[in-house]
Structure 1
Amino acid sequence: MMPEKFEFERDKGFMKAHTHWLNRERLKVYSGLILALFLIYSAGSVYYSKNLVNTSGVPLGIDFITFWGASHLALTGHAQDAYNSSLLFKAQQLAVPASKIPYLWFYPPSFYLVVLPLALLPYLAAYLTFMLSTLGGYLLVLRRIVRGRAAMWCLAGFSGLWMNFYDGQNGFLTAAIAGAALLGVDRRPVLAGLFIGLLAIKPHLAMLFPVALLAIGAWRTLITAAVTAITFTVIGTATFGTAVLKAFLASLGYARLFMENTPPLWDKMPSVFAFLRMFGMPVAWAYAVHCVVAMAAVIAVWHVWRHCQNRNLRNAALMTATFLVSPYVFYYDLAWLAFPIAWLALDGLRNGWQRGEREVLVAAWLLPLLMIPIAGFLKLQIGPLVLCSLLWITYRRATKAAMTGDTASDACEDQFETVQ
């Protein structure tokens, strides 16, 4: 693979370098512009809000109101009521009385253990505590992969970070758990299994971990993950009662119907299923095609983990393919993409680039921001297109790495500072 970072010409014994359009200075400029855009939007949202509700009637923090409401119900001994939309809405109005829109709760008992203390604080304080603490974990894990000013500028302007922060969601938490698990698979298999098991709070995002672990025969990690997930769920059920587990299981059918038949949701869902439903494909056929793409993603992850020793590419493949396997993913979950973008950028800087790869990384970097407005204007969900492209370049790199025996370390590197 010939690096595109530099196209060399020999002239009187000198090597002349022609840089790609995406150089270090432009990375900083583009990141700074996006960061400024989000900061201005944030300031405007707060300034024009009234009683913690913005001009559209949406509470600040949006989905976080669900976490606060569920916490309040659990603290008052009515955890199972969170699965009842009318009862949950009453609890949400205790947090933000001006809120007029109900938000739903479909989480397992294990996630109650995470959100339980939130309602001990007023809504805004609870929101900031939850978001800043999970953001801290997210950044801590990312710092294990990349450092340097250029990398931090890219992260500061990453739309997935800001969209999750605005939405008050758990994307930082799940991404940090998944990233920490992947960083520990080789050297700390039991700890990695513990982290994977903690994804029981959002189990559909953990579906590819067993595939990867079976591919490399990581039995200690797999067994630890299974035991942790079961234990975590049992503790949640024992703490809040079997009625919570029953209510959660009963809610899954409603969540499925809600996803299948609510067009406004599809703008926000970067899944193949949502892509096809926006084109008017019947539910059964949309599921069928989604399953075909999901199986292809599963096979790609199996192949990469089975044959490639490059941990950066293994990890990037798993975290990217996760969004092609589950039909129930949302824009705030795309906070995960910071990890595959970082791993692929490091591999590109180390081994050179192929044509179009950096453009795919830029598209993935902007996807959480642009996905919803593009879907609204064009009635086209671009999420699967970008994610398939990202998985393809990862798979292509992993295939070459398997042939050459490349075993890049997943340790932190400052290679972003070498971008010309």
Structure 2
Amino acid sequence: MSEFVRVGPGRIPRIVWILLFGINALPWLLFSYADILALDGHFVSRAGMLWGRDFSNQWFGGKLALDGLNVYDNAAYREAIRGFGATAFQNYSYPPHTLLLGAMLAFLPYPIALFVWAAGGSILLYRASKPFVPFSPWLVLLVPSLARIPYGQFGLVTSALFLFAMRGSGVAAGFLTMKPHLGILLAAAMAVKKRFRQIFIALAVTVLLLLVSEWIFGLGSAFLHEGLKTQALVLRTGFDAAYFNVMPSAYVALRHTGLEWLAQAAVAIAALLILWQFRAASLSDLAFPVATATFLVLPYSFGYDMALVSIGFAIILYAHWAELDWAERIVAMLAFSAPNLVATHCVPLVLLAGLWVQLRVWRRDLAGQSAG
């Protein structure tokens, strides 16, 4: 337990620290356990999907694309996955180079592939987080979004790639284009910091991945004409689909009001103005503010990809508790819990306040270093 009380600028009370993770992670772990007990003999959950839905799309996509199926044809894709017992609504809309990842894992039986995905992603995030966090890095696997590891979250891999990129890896930045929207502000940060070699490597890796995937699957045109159309329809659909309850953007919060795009623009501009104040920070110091701002700027994002938001605020609470006032502590705890608060539609305001707290903490650190 010594990691819980390591010396820093301030110490968060142990009970607050434990409850912070426990209250947020335990419900998902219990829910996952109940779902596992309900699986049938073919690894299909009570919701009619293979256990680990996020990963099941990767596995299905790679396997079916290798068999020559156009996985961006929604009707054909759904018909094909029914053969595996998956009756829930699913579609494949990731960029075509993600199929390379799915194809490699599709050679394994599904349960084994899911285990490899979850274990490999956990190890990657542990290693990527280690230089950033002042507490035991295994705790990052209990942040709100990643407590859903049994569901095959892509957030493990993308969060790890993001942190590796923030440490200077152009290769990681290139692989992050598998979920390109999560790297938009990362790319901007690299440009502002004049990391041109890293940008060149990222572009080269991306082009290589796209060329290899086109050579193997030939689905680039299908993605541009069908995959992107499917993604656009996610936001434009008129009915209140369940997935809107896991989308944290201001656009989603104010759907049907006529103010959704105005609100999204206002929140995005405010976030970018705050983020600009970090321009003198090192790339590694920018990591968590950029992660927070990403989910404010994007109209299309999901709570299960927000691991780095929670990790960033866990660091602030752990290392700066004593110097935070009570308002800052409350904001940081709410921002840490943001992936579990998405359905309340208050997350844009919580994250905007959280980004301001991140700025205040960074400025205090900078002033302390100057005084020292």
TM-score normalised per structure 1: 0.77
Matched AA of 1:381: H
Residue of structure 1 in register with 2:234 after alignment: 258
CA distance in 2, matches of 1:323, 1:333: 9
Which residue among 322, 326, 330 is the counterpart of 1:359? Answer: 330
Residue deviations 1:332-384, cap 9 Å, x none?
111232442244346525x822332222232233222343xxx3xxxx41221
Which residue among 16, 24, 45 is the counterpart of 2:14? Answer: 24
Larger Rg: 1
Task: Report 1:83-94 matches (<5 A).
Answer: 83-94=72-83
The answer to whether structure 1 residue 325 and structure 2 residue 310 are counterparts is no
Distance 1:144 1:128, change over 3 A: same
CA distance in 1, matches of 2:185, 2:141: 28
Residue deviations 1:156-176, cap 9 Å, x none?
54221123x243231100000
Structure 1 residue 207, shift from structure 2 partner: 0.7
Residue of structure 1 in register with 2:250 after alignment: 272
- The question of whether the paired residues in 1 share the 8 Å contact of 2:47 and 2:88 is answered with no
Task: Report 1:209-220 matches (<5 A).
Answer: 209-220=186-197
The answer to whether structure 1 residue 171 and structure 2 residue 155 are counterparts is yes
Task: Report 1:16-415 matches (<5 A).
Answer: 23-32=13-22, 34-51=24-41, 52-78=43-69, 81-95=70-84, 97=85, 99-146=86-133, 148=135, 152=138, 154-163=139-148, 165-182=149-166, 184-185=167-168, 192-241=169-218, 244-250=219-225, 251-261=227-237, 262-264=239-241, 265-277=243-255, 280-282=256-258, 285-304=259-278, 306-309=279-282, 311-312=284-285, 314-345=286-317, 348=320, 352-371=323-342, 375=343, 380-402=344-366
CA distance in 2, matches of 1:117, 1:142: 26
Matched AA of 1:194: V
Distance 1:328 1:166, change over 3 A: farther
CA distance in 2, matches of 1:359, 1:53: 40
Structure 1 counterpart SS, 2:51: coil
- The question of whether the paired residues in 2 share the 8 Å contact of 1:75 and 1:116 is answered with yes
CA distance in 2, matches of 1:218, 1:117: 32
Distance 1:58 1:381, change over 3 A: farther
- The question of whether the paired residues in 2 share the 8 Å contact of 1:57 and 1:100 is answered with yes
Matched AA of 1:348: H
> How large is the Cα RMSD of the aligned pairs?
2.7
- The question of whether the paired residues in 2 share the 8 Å contact of 1:131 and 1:168 is answered with yes
Matched AA of 2:206: A
Matched AA of 1:354: D
- The question of whether the paired residues in 2 share the 8 Å contact of 1:308 and 1:399 is answered with no
- The question of whether the paired residues in 2 share the 8 Å contact of 1:269 and 1:383 is answered with no
Identity %: 25
CA distance in 1, matches of 2:282, 2:57: 42
Q: Name structure 1 gaps, 5 residues minimum.
A: 1-18, 186-191, 409-420
CA distance in 2, matches of 1:343, 1:32: 16
Matched AA of 1:202: K
Structure 1 counterpart SS, 2:71: helix
Q: Name structure 2 gaps, 5 residues minimum.
A: 1-9
Structure 1 residue 49, shift from structure 2 partner: 2.5
Structure 1 residue 300, shift from structure 2 partner: 2.7
- The question of whether the paired residues in 2 share the 8 Å contact of 1:208 and 1:322 is answered with yes
- The question of whether the paired residues in 1 share the 8 Å contact of 2:134 and 2:315 is answered with no
Distance 1:266 1:331, change over 3 A: same
Matched AA of 2:175: L
CA distance in 2, matches of 1:32, 1:225: 37
Matched AA of 2:126: L
Structure 1 residue 41, shift from structure 2 partner: 2.5
CA distance in 2, matches of 1:214, 1:370: 33
Higher mean Cα deviation, 64-73 or 216-225?
216-225
Structure 1 residue 177, shift from structure 2 partner: 0.2
Q: How many residues align?
A: 359
CA distance in 2, matches of 1:175, 1:258: 23
Structure 1 residue 119, shift from structure 2 partner: 2.1
Matched AA of 1:89: R
- The question of whether the paired residues in 2 share the 8 Å contact of 1:62 and 1:167 is answered with yes
